[in-house]
Chains A and B, each alone.
Chain A
Amino acid sequence: MNDLKDKTDEQLIAAFQQDDENAFVLLVERYRDRLINFVYRFLNDMTDAEDLVQETFVKVYRKKHSYREIAKFSTWIYTIAGNLARSELRKRKRRKTYTMSSLGYEDTEFTPVDTGKDTEGIVFNSYAGEEIMKAIDQLPEPFKTITILRDIQELSYEDISTILDIPMGTVKSRVNRARLKLQETLSYLRE
């Protein structure tokens, strides 16, 4: 196990493909927190995020032979987690639509929308993490994912290009557009 600790992710997955389960455990230890942070930004729920990351590792365990060393291991595992997170978001959206449409007018309750406009206590010109998360959550889907990958997870343009399967030029332009949208949303939330 100690020898394995010095190995790269790609060497570990290769060892796991040769049935070394210690290599798998090390990969879990290396990636669990990173992936939970990634998925948590999508789902905003720690229990769901942890369940989804567990599901990601179960997939890695069962599909270990589908990894080919043409891509970085990190890219592969982020792709799996990202796909699961997006699919979970879609499921939630459907559930939400169903719940809303199944409610009668009398059944609906008025819930004031928290726009975060109460800026008392927030130092002007510096953003609190919660405020930013609220803004990210309001971004349209492609911008939301790219912001999480680039500005929170700090992945390279190249990795994002592989994960999202879009050209690098598109990644760069989307990152910029996402940032400008985020700035607009933050300004709006503060007004």
Chain B
Amino acid sequence: MQNSDCGFIRNQYTEFKDNTLTPETKAEVDTHLAECHACQKVFTELDQALSTMHSMETVQASPNFTTTLLSKISDSEPAGVWQRLYNSSYTKVAGYAIAAGMVVAIGLNFIIDPVSGVSGGNNSNFTIEQQVDTNNQENLVGASDSALMAGNDSLNLNSKTINSGSSTLQLVNGGN
């Protein structure tokens, strides 16, 4: 027997199984199924099919699936090992560490107070400026004279160094 309700009832199958029908519709489906053998058959066959599908035998990947995949990826990588090294977290950490070290080294150069007498390997400018500040004019002229006597290279070095303080530079040049 299939009456006009059968289409409607069969469309409720999924929600009926999911228990998401309203109580009224669920009651309607129950009543219909109790009377309609055609719909009963459809619901039963669907239950069986779903049960088979849920317990269907599964297929498995071959044992060397992952190895094959990784070698496929490795072969297709354009830069190979170097790209991997570049991408690896260890390389990045090492890079960050070196960069941080350089920043600290440069920062220390600026932080160290030259007047306190603490000087690093690159503090020659500050040392010489200090000499310029503390010595009087004659001493400076004398220093330049002795530099002249020591040769052009020394003079150039001194002039260059003193150039970092413009007022002092005028004084030295005037002295010469």
Interface status of B110 (Cβ within 8 A of chain A):
no
- A-B interface pairs (CB < 8 A), number: 96
Interface residue count for B (Cβ, 8 Å)? 34
In the complex, B13 has a CB within 8 A of chain A: yes
A8: chain B residues at CB < 8 Å are none
Contact of B13 among A53, A132, A179 (CB under 8 A): A179
The reply on B153 being an interface residue by CB < 8 A is no
Task: Give every chain A residue within 8 A of B11 (Cβ-Cβ).
Answer: 173, 176, 180
CB nearest neighbor in A for B50? A151
User: Cβ of B68 and Cβ of A151 under 8 Å apart?
Assistant: no
B57 nearest in chain A by CB position: A129
Q: Is A158 interfacial (CB 8 A cutoff)? A: no
CB distance from B46 to the nearest CB of A (A): 5
Cα A57 to Cα B69 with chains together (Å)? 8
Write the chain B residue with the least CB distance to A32.
B61
**Smallest Cβ-Cβ distance to B89: which chain A residue:** A19
- Residues of chain B lying within 8 A (CB to CB) of residue A61: 73
Chain A to chain B contacts (Cβ below 8 Å), 6 pairs: A18-B89, A36-B59, A37-B59, A49-B59, A182-B49, A186-B45
Partner-B contacts on A (CB < 8 A): 18-20, 25, 28-29, 32-33, 36-37, 40, 46, 49-50, 53-54, 57-58, 61, 125-129, 132, 135, 147, 151-152, 154, 172-173, 175-176, 179-180, 182-183, 186-187
